[in-house]
Amino acid sequence: MSESVAIALGSNLGDSRGILEGAIEQLRSPLWELQQSHWYRTRAVGPPQPDYLNGCVIGKTALEPLELLQRLFDIEHQFGRVRRERWGARTLDLDLLLYGDRILNSPQLQVPHPRLRERPFVLVPLADIAPDWRDPLSGCSIKELQEALNCSDVTRLS
């Protein structure tokens, strides 16, 4: 059995575009039918740091949510991610945003991502590839969630 998933990607240290493109290649193993958004430059949230390069992918997976989460952590580690400071600068950030229409709330994983509905840097690229996907908590489409936010700080690059 397979499930559709949405994953956010972000980087603001090193060769961000190269790191993100490499991460997408690594995601081709646990995911198939992969679709990629455009890339966007966004201001960082948290302590002073460089702007982020952000994007999203959607695809299908046979992995269970916690297995997929572990695979995302493994890919982050492969690209030099070190978890030091919440919302700090990072070479790679991969967030599991949606796993079909499931709602999960455990100490290890919350799906939908708990801040999905308030993050333009996630909703804008996700709306590129999944505008009609419905957030299982609010019932709103990704496009509706995006339109409800001020997204002026999100600049499309490609």
DSSP H helical ranges for the chain = 16-27, 65-78, 120-129, 142-147
Catalytic pick from 71, 81, 117, 119?
Answer: 81
The residue type of 3 is: E
Alpha-carbon gap, residue 41 to 75, rounded angstroms: 22
Question: What is this structure's pTM?
Answer: 0.93
Alpha-carbon gap, residue 77 to 30, rounded angstroms: 16
- Residue 158's Cβ-count burial label (10 Å; 0-12, 13-18, 19+) is exposed
Catalytic pick from 17, 43, 95, 134?
Answer: 95
Alpha-carbon gap, residue 15 to 117, rounded angstroms: 28
Answer for the pair 130, 145: CB distance below 8 angstroms, yes or no.
no
Whether 81 is a known active-site residue: answer yes
Catalytic pick from 71, 90, 117, 119?
Answer: 90
DSSP class of residue 46 equals S
Local confidence pLDDT in tens for the 158 residues of the chain:
899 999 999 999 999 999 999 999 999 989 999 999 999 999 887 778 899 999 999 999 999 999 999 999 999 998 886 666 565 678 899 999 999 999 999 999 999 999 999 999 999 999 999 999 999 999 999 999 999 999 888 999 96
Catalytic pick from 71, 93, 128, 135?
Answer: 93
Alpha-carbon gap, residue 63 to 132, rounded angstroms: 23
Whether 95 is a known active-site residue: answer yes
Alpha-carbon gap, residue 148 to 26, rounded angstroms: 33
Answer for the pair 34, 55: CB distance below 8 angstroms, yes or no.
no
Partners of 73 in the beta sheet?
none
